[in-house]
Chains A and B, each alone.
Chain A
Amino acid sequence: MERIDEDKLIDEVTGKNYEYGFTTDIESDTLPPGLDEDVVRMISAKKNEPEWLLNWRLEAFKVWSEMTEPDWAHVEYEKPDFQAISYYSAPKQKKELASLDEVDPELLKTMEKLGISLEEQKRLSGVAVDFVMDSVSVATSFKEKLGELGVIFCSLGEAIQKHPELVRKHLGTVVPQRDNYYAALNSAVFTDGSFCYIPKGVRCPMELSTYFRINQAGTGQFERTLIVADEGSYVSYLEGCTAPQRDENQLHAAVVEIIANDEAEVRYSTVQNWYPGDKDGKGGVFNFVTKRGLCHRAAKISWTQVETGSAITWKYPSCILKGDDSIGEFFSVAVTNNKQQADTGTKMIHIGKRTRSTIISKGISSGHSQNSYRGLVQIHPGAENSRNFSVCDSLLMTDTCGAHTFPYIEVKNPTAQIEHEASTSKIGDDQIFYCQQRGIEEEEAIGLIVKGYAKDVLNKLPMEFAVEAQKLLTISLEGSVG
């Protein structure tokens, strides 16, 4: 897909935002801080939701009220005050800036390095942009094409109104309300997110991306995404944006659910670059996400993530390999710098026969950061001849950071084959010197070595995403050696 078309499409969908769900009558609404049953009811009412969904939310709220915040991850932070958060804020317009001169120059510098066009820079940093005239037609042609194939791709709010049967059938089936503390909270108060349905046998011809609707405000804090790939279908879904995202919300508790029916394949790629906070880690985003996919027979779910942002990351995109011959994959690069803390990994739950999973995790720690891989590979008694292969490597850039590996392997079947290996190493002085001796400057050399180290994962990203992700790695590690 041409880059320019995407840009146009984003603009178009951004403009269209006002057509659905959020209309002017609720625009100025913001609930006072605090969370109780009435707040949940109010959110549901504001969104004009059916009763079953309200009840579902209330159930989640009840469960959440009885839970305690988990503390097992290898991260330290001051626990958020859940009563100090406002759980409903209408999609308020961010204050528009008149020109790029008003934008934080650091932010612009980063965007420039990422090769983001001037127009896009403006849009991403909240500067008023004139929409290009013919964008409507371009977007429409995409929409038409998807429509012809029967692909549904819209906001979750819109799906609840237009396709309630599909949402009701699948919502919470992979990540139930009581799954964990943050998932329960999300289930009670989620505001919006994406919904995607690929019908039987359809190969979605384009990457579906939240990039299309990046400015759809108000979905960020408690976003919920539901992807349903019907039998034999294929879709590649991109989440996030390589541009740095400033956000006033400190706590992000999103949920992503994927259902891959028989022989379906879903590729889910994420680049996460939330604000990591300043050099002391102040003000950064807490990213507590629950992502999970369910594979039916011979289905395949592939998670690829490049994590460079957030002050705290707590995230384990997982696969439940329920169907025989299903496949789960997890490819991750997590970079931490300054005072960032990341505890991320995956869970591969093998239930069906001949299920296979692959885990490749590459951690890169710098500054005073802490970077942990935490993963579970579970082989149930019936998972005959299942396989898992895991590699978890850590690269250390400074003597003040930490790199940790916490794999959990549980096997209850005598035909399973599990291989896990992990290593920790320092970026090599001799490698840097070798590059320098060939005329490559130190910073570029570090970039080259790090990209090489992360190559196995970066290769899994869709091409266009991969290029930006590579640049992002280099930028995230700037000034970390020497």
Chain B
Amino acid sequence: MSVFTDNFSATLPPPTRKSERWKYSPIAKLLNKEISISTEAAQGMNGWPESVLPNPVLNLDAYLVVFKNGVFEPTLSDLPVSDGVDCIPFSKMDQSGSLDFTNGYHQKEWIGELNETYRQDGLSLHVHRNVKVDRPIVIHHLTDGNNVASFPKHLIKVDEGGELNVVVWSSASDRSSGMYNGLLEASIGPNALLSLEKVCNEGGKVFHFSHEHIVQERDSKLKMHTFTIKGDWVRNELEIISRGKGTDSVFNGAYLPLGAEHVDNHTTMDHTSSDGTSSELYRGIMYGNSTGVFNGKVFVRPDAQKTNAFQQNTNIVADRGAAINTKPELEIYADDVKCSHGCTVGQFDLDALFYLKSRGIDEKAAKALLVEAFLADVLSSVSSTELCEEIMRLYTERHGW
């Protein structure tokens, strides 16, 4: 089945370069592609590829939930999880028990409408009041095959005082092509904590699009990390809405594209209530002929007095042919606030590099040390050391430091 030709008649127009939100990430190429959508039947025929492990973070003691080409894989998943947590795919649940909310993204963006139209499945994850989930939940998406597509949507709700750590990991085998179009909506109740790590480590030629929408209630805390390890064309959209007083939002990201890869991180932090703090740090190194895009927007609405918002984007353009387009934005409508952003584009510190080399460290190892230092602040708040180490290991392996 082809998604973009005769079958998909969207009510919304696909974004063009002229729409400000897509200025640096045109999707014209995608529109010409033939992409087919997996069904459960088709799923069984392919099996699991040898090159990708079902559990992406082997050392991490976690509940694993696996989807392949958008379809739930019960045999590879550890369900149910502990008491006080409802964690079930929509496909395996009667409608009355599943979470049901929407931010209406499918009515705003063409790409959201696409997800809504072709959605295969997703997880309904409800953490009840004061329940602190004992282990992280790793949601693993695998794309495997030629011109295949995943359209998942996950809903997460952490009730008052609850605590949850979720890792959304997407992989693709090297022979893969097609699309990953994943939505995630989360609601964090009063005094609750959600740690969310999103990792993209996809081989092949997959068009990767994800949109996370997180609403924070009073005194809740969000720790969000977005790592792009590998991906032909990646766009990570993150939207955080601070709806109650005194929320705390930390969201960091790293991107190190190689070759002709394209990575876009598009974040919005919307302070609608008072006394909130937000801290955003995105760091990227552009290698080869790759392109990085960062667009960070911080809103401070009229009622959001005493907001403290900080945003930083740091980039290194490592090679001739690589490029970065960055747009850190502030829109402030309240006066008693402290907001700042900074953005830099530069190179590796040559003095530091020389200093390391003068101590007998070879260039490669010296650069690896500098990259590690560059990423340290982004990684430092990741919720588990196992995950942190695995991400660093993958970066190192990929870039051959």
Residues of A within 8 A of B (CB): 72, 74, 379, 381, 394, 396-426
Contacts and interface: CB of A to CB of B under 8 A. Distances in A.
Contacts of B129: none
A410 B325 CA distance: 4
Contact of B324 (A396, A409, A425): A409
Interface stretch (B71-79, B113-121, B312-320, B383-391): B312-320
Interface string B299-315: 00010010000000001
Contact of A399 (B305, B327, B328, B339): B305
B325 A408 contact: yes
Contacts of B80: none
Interface in B327-354: 327-347
10 contacts: A381-B320, A399-B305, A400-B302, A405-B329, A405-B330, A410-B323, A411-B325, A413-B320, A420-B342, A422-B328
Interface in B107-139: none
A376 to B, nearest CB: 10
Given A400-B302, A416-B345, A424 B332 contact: yes
A412 B327 contact: no
Chain A facing B: main interface SS? strand
B357 to A, nearest CB: 19
A283 to B, nearest CB: 25
B335 A399 contact: yes
B344 A420 contact: yes
A418 B344 contact: yes
A423 B339 contact: yes
Contact of B343 (A72, A401, A420, A424): A420
A74 B323 CA distance: 27
A424 B343 CA distance: 15
A412 B344 CA distance: 14
A400 B301 CA distance: 10
B207 to A, nearest CB: 23
Contacts of B322: 412, 414
Given A381-B320, A414-B320, A416-B345, 16 more contacts: A381-B321, A401-B335, A403-B330, A408-B326, A411-B325, A411-B345, A413-B317, A413-B320, A418-B344, A418-B345, A421-B340, A422-B328, A422-B330, A422-B341, A424-B337, A426-B337
Contact of B318 (A403, A404, A414, A423): A414
Q: Which of A407, A412, A424 has the most CB of B within 10 A?
A: A424
B323 to A, nearest CB: 4
B20 interface: yes
Query: Which size bracket describes the interface of B in this complex?
Result: 35 or more
B315 A424 contact: no
A401 B340 CA distance: 17
Given A407-B327, A408-B327, A402 B315 contact: no
A417 B327 contact: no
A412 B333 CA distance: 34
B341 A411 contact: no
B323 A412 contact: yes
B337 A411 contact: no
Contacts of B327: 406-409
Contacts, number: 112
B348 to A, nearest CB: 10
Q: Which of B321, B322, B330, B336 has the most CB of A within 10 A?
A: B330
A407 B345 contact: no
A402 B344 contact: no
Task: List the 4 shortest-distance A-B pairs measured between CB atoms, nearest first.
Answer: A396-B335, A418-B345, A423-B340, A420-B343
Q: Which of A397, A398, A422, A426 has the most CB of B within 10 A?
A: A422
A421 B326 contact: no
Interface string B59-84: 00000000000000000000000000
Contacts of B315: 411
A404 B336 contact: no
Contacts of A422: 328, 330, 340-342
B336 A426 contact: yes
Nearest to B312: A421
A424 B345 contact: no
A417 B338 CA distance: 27
B345 A409 contact: yes
Given A415-B347, A417-B345, A421-B342, A404 B320 contact: no
A398 B302 CA distance: 11
B338 A425 contact: yes
A414 B317 CA distance: 5
Nearest to A415: B347
Contacts of B329: 404-407
A359 to B, nearest CB: 12
Given A396-B335, A413-B317, A418 B346 contact: yes
A72 B330 CA distance: 16
Contact of B347 (A407, A414, A425): A414
Given A400-B302, A402-B331, A424-B339, A411 B344 contact: no
Contact of A404 (B332, B335, B343, B347): B332
Contacts of B345: 379, 409, 411, 416-418
Contacts of A402: 331-333
A423 B344 CA distance: 15
Nearest to B287: A414
A397 B20 CA distance: 30
Contacts of B341: 405, 421-423
B317 to A, nearest CB: 4
Contacts of B346: 416-419
A420 B317 CA distance: 16
A449 to B, nearest CB: 14
Given A405-B329, A424-B330, A418 B343 contact: yes
A406 B325 CA distance: 13
A180 B336 CA distance: 38
Nearest to A388: B345
A308 B316 CA distance: 38
Nearest to A390: B343
A390 to B, nearest CB: 9
Nearest to B337: A424
A397 B335 CA distance: 7
B332 A403 contact: yes
Contacts of B335: 396-399, 401, 426
B20 A72 contact: yes
A396 B343 CA distance: 22
Contacts of B342: 419-422
A425 B321 CA distance: 39
Contacts of B319: 414
A404 B302 contact: no
A371 to B, nearest CB: 10
B165 to A, nearest CB: 33
